[in-house]
Structure 1
Amino acid sequence: MAAFKGYVDNIALQSADELISHETDTGCVIEYEIHEIILATGVQYNNRFCSIIKIESRKITHWRDYMDSHAAWSAMTGKK
């Protein structure tokens, strides 16, 4: 977790797309892609996410994200 601490201070979100939504009995699962720029280097960064969302009484009660951690690490460190 410490390796991703500065994530929001170092990356500028450009867009998000490719949204796919799957309804479940207790909420939904969404898949999407983000497109960002690494501020220090100007390098384009793309990643895919999957979010598991639980909804109770029309309110989000749980949200868990999964992403391509290797893509994020590579973009932040310049290593592949």
Structure 2
Amino acid sequence: MSFSNPEDFKALSRSSASSSRASTAWMYRGHGDSFYLDSCGDLAAYHDREASVVVLEYSSHGRAVATQARYENQYISVITIRDRAITHWRDYLNPLTVLAALAADPPAATINGPA
């Protein structure tokens, strides 16, 4: 999965609504100014058909643009789908990992757990 490839999000959401794609693009705007990702993976997906909710677990691997510090994070996305369109998307991640990678001299223990 690539944050720069809209087709990846289309495949995940199976959505044909342009507002859903636009919302996803807006959510990740400017991401490339702070981080470049080498890969995203470790995808696990859970789907509750009754509630029309999809939960994604995944990870990213890359570097902070400004500091060149290694950046790895894990994510949880909770997505609500109605009529084949994304109607709500919430992301959860470790913000300390983001801050550590963006710091000029990030402590190793905060980037990927204990050193």
Q: 1:59 to 1:7 in 2, by over 3 A?
A: closer
Q: Which runs of 4+ in 1 moved over 3 A?
A: none
* Aligned twin of 2:45: 21
TM-score in terms of structure 1 length = 0.83
d(CA) in 2 for partners of 1:44, 1:67: 16
Equivalent pairs, count: 75
Structure 2 unaligned segments of length 5 or more: list them. Answer: 1-29, 111-115
Structure 1 unaligned segments of length 5 or more: list them. Answer: 1-5
The counterpart of 2:102, out of the listed 64, 76, 79, is: 76
TM-score in terms of structure 2 length = 0.60
Report matched runs for 1:31-46 at 5 Å: 31-46=57-72
Aligned partner of residue 75 in structure 2, secondary structure = strand
Backbone CA RMSD of aligned residues = 1.5
Pick the structure with greater CA Rg.
2
Which structure's residues are more often helix, by fraction?
2
AA partner of residue 61 (structure 1): T
1:54 partnered with 2:68:
no
